[in-house]
Every structure is written in C-alpha cells, then in structure tokens.
Amino acid sequence: MKLSLAILVPFAVVLGSAQTVERLLPDFLPDGAHAQSTLYIDHVDAAEDPCLQNEGCLSGNGTRMLLRFGSMVHNIGRADAYLGQPPKNKTDPNNPVYWHWDTCHMHWHFTAYANYKLLTEDRSQTILTGHKNGFCLEDLGCTDASKEPYYSCINQGISVGCYDLYDETLPCQWLDVTDLHLTPNYTASSTYTIEIAINQEGFFPEANVANNIAYVPVVIGDVPAYTGPSLAEVRRMGVPNGPGTTAPDGEPVGFGTGGGASGGGSGGTGFAPEVGGGGSGPGTGGGGGGMERRSNKHKWFYHKGL
C-alpha cells in the first residue's frame, strides 16, 4: 500500500470567485546528455568492499566490469523537492518505508529515487538491472543563475532551478556488465540503451512524470577506460559542502518535516532527457550558469552514521 504523504500546498485566492487552490510541485528531469558524457568502463575486485554485493551494486565475486556514468537530475518545477533529514532512530518501526538503514556501510538510503537498467537498443528487453540509487539528495549546482544551492546531505532536497548529481566516481554509480558478453547476440560493437528512471514509485508528488526517464545509447566497445579515484581513494574523499546559504522565503512542497524553500518559476532550460533515439525533451546538452559546489556524497556513503 502506497503511503499518503503530507504536502504543503501554496494556494491563490481569486477575488469574486470561489477559492482556487493551485498546487506548486517539483518536476524531476534526468539529464541524458550528462550521463552520456561521463560513460567509463572500470574494473573492481569485489573483495575490496564486500558491502557492494550486499547493497546490490555488484552481481558476483571476483573482478567485475563496470559501466560507470554520472546521474544528474534537475528540478524544473515550481516548488522544491524536499526530503528533509533522515530518521534519527534506526530501529523505530514508524520510520517512513522509503528510508532504509544499510547495516554494512552504516548509512541511510532513500530507496525510491533512481533506478538504472541496461536495455536492448530498441528498449524492448531489459538486459540487466542495476542498484536502486539514492542515499543523499542535495543541491550540487543551479542552472538558474539567480539561485544558490541550499539543500545538503543533512537537510535533503533539490531546489527549483537546481540539480542533484551522483557523479561517476561514486560507489554504485554504475551498471555491472561483467556477464553482458554471455547474453544472446552480444558483440562489443552492439548498441544498448541505459535507462535512468527517477521517482518511479511516486513518493515525490510531481507536476509532470512523463519526463522522468532518460535513455542513453551506448556501445560498450567504444566506452573509454575509467581513470578516476579507486574505491580506496573514494573512502578518503569526504569533501565538505560549500558555504552555507540562506533559504529563500516560502515553504517546501514534498514530504518530510522541517524548513526549506519554495521555488518560483520554472527553472532552467537546455536539458536533454534523452540522447539519440528521437527524444522529445527540451534542448540538447546541459544547462549553464548558476553556482556549483563540491559533493559531500563520498563522505556520506562511507562514514555518515545517524
């Protein structure tokens, strides 16, 4: 049974008529162009971190072949997507079902954020399914130059006109393609499609769910080798967030409790929810302008215990 989530709803009163309620909602848009520009092939020994199998990030033992990519999600709606703070009590039976405490890496997961799949080129079949990602929602940058990042791993959400980013160096930000060569008709020159699906369980109310999936074509044999930090190096990263910012006036729309900011306006433009294959999204490439800051997700993934 899906939970009924409390939503703070701004409303407008029209003079001379009955009261009219207008729901201002967030709108997620995954950025296919960013994912395609950050594709890499990496190899990881599963023994380096047994938690990766426990969390469903690796499909087996030994050396695994991984297709890494960054996942950028814009909020182009008219209200912030507000999640708030993770629960304080790991064993409280009343904790929302979308929060899951991982006993291996000792951190919280928001289990209803992003799903990754590898499909056939025509998208008619699922070849493999990846990890359900989502352990920290934050403002990593804003395409709206008038906005400043507000949300962080401590008070989670995505502001209007801003985006969250799971960069390709993060653990589990990949598809395990080790056994892809065992699938029928595989060749290194075969074209596949990565599916990046956001908010598929509908825990966040949105203005538009038709743009929640990005499709990214990929030819495994053409993907360059990964040269980023190793798993051991990632454990030591833990880059602090940028300087604190002041929340704009207003209230959040989403779920959870606490403060936040409501957006006004539709956010930036110039995103590509689909690359290739006749996508219908607005524009191509990533939006520009705005502010960026360093992610705290590396530190959160390995060290954050609440």
**Within-domain flag for 123:** yes
**Within-domain flag for 124:** yes
Predicted local confidence at residue 151, as pLDDT: 93
Q: Give the distance from CA 232 to its chain's centroid.
A: 23
**Within-domain flag for 128:** yes
| The token pair that represents 91 in the structure block | 């064993």
DSSP helix/strand/coil, 298: helix
On whether the pTM is more than 0.85, the answer is no
Predicted local confidence at residue 228, as pLDDT: 87
Give CA angle at 187 (186, 190), nearest 5°. 90
Q: Which of 21, 48, 6 is nearest to 232 (CA)?
A: 48
**Within-domain flag for 45:** yes
**Within-domain flag for 22:** no
**Within-domain flag for 3:** no
Q: Which of 52, 59, 40, 37 is nearest to 232 (CA)?
A: 52
Residue 74 forms beta bridges with which residues? 29, 163
Domain span at 216: 28-303
Predicted local confidence at residue 19, as pLDDT: 64
Q: What are phi and psi of 276, to 5 degrees?
A: 75, 170
Predicted local confidence at residue 291, as pLDDT: 44
Predicted local confidence at residue 270, as pLDDT: 34
Predicted local confidence at residue 183, as pLDDT: 93
Number of folded domains in the chain?
Answer: 1
Q: Which of 306, 303, 295, 283 is nearest to 173 (CA)?
A: 295
Predicted local confidence at residue 168, as pLDDT: 92
How far is residue 217's CA from residue 200's CA, in Å, rounded to a whole number?
A: 21
| The token pair that represents 64 in the structure block | 């695994």
Residues of the chain whose pLDDT is less than 50? 1-15, 238-292, 299-306
How far is residue 148's CA from residue 48's CA, in Å, rounded to a whole number?
A: 38
The per-residue pLDDT for range 156-193, each reduced to its tens digit, is: 899 999 999 988 998 889 999 999 999 988 999 999 99
Predicted local confidence at residue 18, as pLDDT: 57
**Within-domain flag for 43:** yes
**Within-domain flag for 13:** no
